[in-house]
Amino acid sequence: MGRKIVVALGGNAILSKDASAAAQQQALRDTAEHLVKFIENGDQLIISHGNGPQVGNLLLQQAAGSTKDNPEMPLDTCVAMTQGSIGYWMQNAMNQVIKEKGLDKTVATVVTQVEVSADDPAFTKPTKPIGPFMNKDEADLAKKQNPDFTFVEDAGRGYRRVVPSPKPIGVVETDAVNTLVDAGIVPISVGGGGIPVVRDGNQLLGKEAVIDKDFASEKLAELVGADSLIILTAVNNIYVNFNKPNQKKLEDVTLSELDKFIEEKQFAPGSMLPKVQAAMDFVKATGNEAVVTALDNIEGFIDNGSGTVIKPEGSKV
């Protein structure tokens, strides 16, 4: 049996400027061509994905069309809806490519709930960007139309809605994911960071939040006993002094080195920082490696280990 790998795919890799279903399905078809390389390599693959653009768009559509007789759905339900729709597109794309390559594998989506703490301070401080980028006038209009929404400027790229983003403390369907892996099935799990729930006796209650998919993917990888967590982003490597004349890519890096770079504020809070922190959490919890690289560098990583590989202190890197 090959390595058990959790691969975390960003929601922006599925949706760029064209929000149509056809465009997102085509993007996932392209994505599947890369992801299937892990299966060809003999790895036991578990896929996770983001949904920030998709759930934000859905919330705006819901708010615009809400009536007394047909009210908008709460945020946790919208996370479940996009988890299902993206999973549907992704499993079809993966299964198509798998069949074309003559591989003996199938892919299935698990509607996944992720447990959070009801006392998480994130519920009083929304920080997670979701939905499309807007200019100032568009954001002001959206705020007027949706007074309960919070909009902030996002990394110089425009304005986006922000919602609470509590830290995951458990993945409810962990056993189901492992059962699928043991049966030779590729699960798609914790889509969009998972549906945020809190425990109340025997009940699981949905919360108005979106969990960061990198932290949810880390928690899943930890709980299923993954050999590696691979976080896919827009660049082949993590960089320090990014976009400066003295920028430097990180290849093999230790936890202490990353701690130093975080102290230097080398990583953007809404962008690379959570990926770095999630990767570090996995290494600390398991002693196994985490990797940050780009979707189109998967073959390079498999063939020669290219990308940023994070290992515990004392490992041979």
275 annotated active-site: yes
d(CA 265, CA 271): 12
Question: Are residues 171 and 115 in contact, defined by beta-carbon separation less than 8 angstroms?
Answer: yes
Assess whether 213 carries a catalytic annotation.
Answer: yes
Q: Which of 4, 207, 213, 311 is catalytic?
A: 213
Catalytic residue among 12, 95, 146, 297: 12
Of the listed 4, 10, 11, 50, which one is catalytic? 11
DSSP 100-116: HTT---EEEE---EEE-
Single out the catalytic residue among 4, 207, 219, 275: 275
Q: Is 198 in contact with 204 (CB distance < 8 Å)?
A: yes
Give the 3-state secondary structure of residue 4.
strand
Calculate the alpha carbon distances from 92 to 18, 23, 188, 236, 240 in Å: 20, 14, 11, 27, 38
| Structure tokens that stand for 317 in this block | 């890197």
* Residue 128 is among the residues annotated as catalytic for this protein: yes
The C-alpha atoms of residue 22 and residue 82 are separated, in whole angstroms, by 15
Calpha distance 45→177 (Å, rounded): 11
Active site includes 11? yes
- For residue 6, CA distances in Å to 178, 260, 299 come to 12, 26, 16
C-alpha closest to that of 261 among 286, 236, 279: 279
- Choice among 4, 128, 207, 311 that is catalytic: 128
User: Which active-site residues does the annotation give?
Assistant: 11-12, 128, 213, 275
